[in-house]
Amino acid sequence: MADITDIKAILYTEKSLSLQEEGTVVIQTSPKMTKNGLKNVLKEYFSIAPLKINSLRVNGKVKKFRGVVGKRNDYKKFYVKLPEGAKLENTEV
């Protein structure tokens, strides 16, 4: 079952800030989060019923640091369309 701890961050990039003006928030979560799980978390903790949710799975890159090979963590990004006038707490920069 999805929980609020599966949400890692609300992304604030140039693209996500332009989407926020249109009412879409970009959320980074753990790879096990599902659309229905995120929908339930938003309803339970923020009292918001999203209009639309799109998901994107991002695989971690393999990187070298001082000759040691490592891998960044996998994660999911969700593009959440919020109802008119609804805002997640602390989403404004």
Report the first-to-last Cα separation within the chain, whole angstroms: 31
Interatomic CA distance for residues 74 and 58, integer angstroms: 6
Mean pLDDT by 10 residues, the chain (93 residues): 86 92 93 93 90 96 95 96 80 48
Domain of residue 18, residue span: 4-81
86 in any annotated domain:
no
**pLDDT number for residue 49:** 92
44 in any annotated domain:
yes
CATH number at residue 24: 3.30.70.330
Cβ neighbours of residue 90 under 8 Å, at least 6 residues apart?
A: 10
Domain count, the chain: 1
Q: Nearest CA to 13 among 33, 28, 1, 2?
A: 28
**pLDDT number for residue 93:** 43
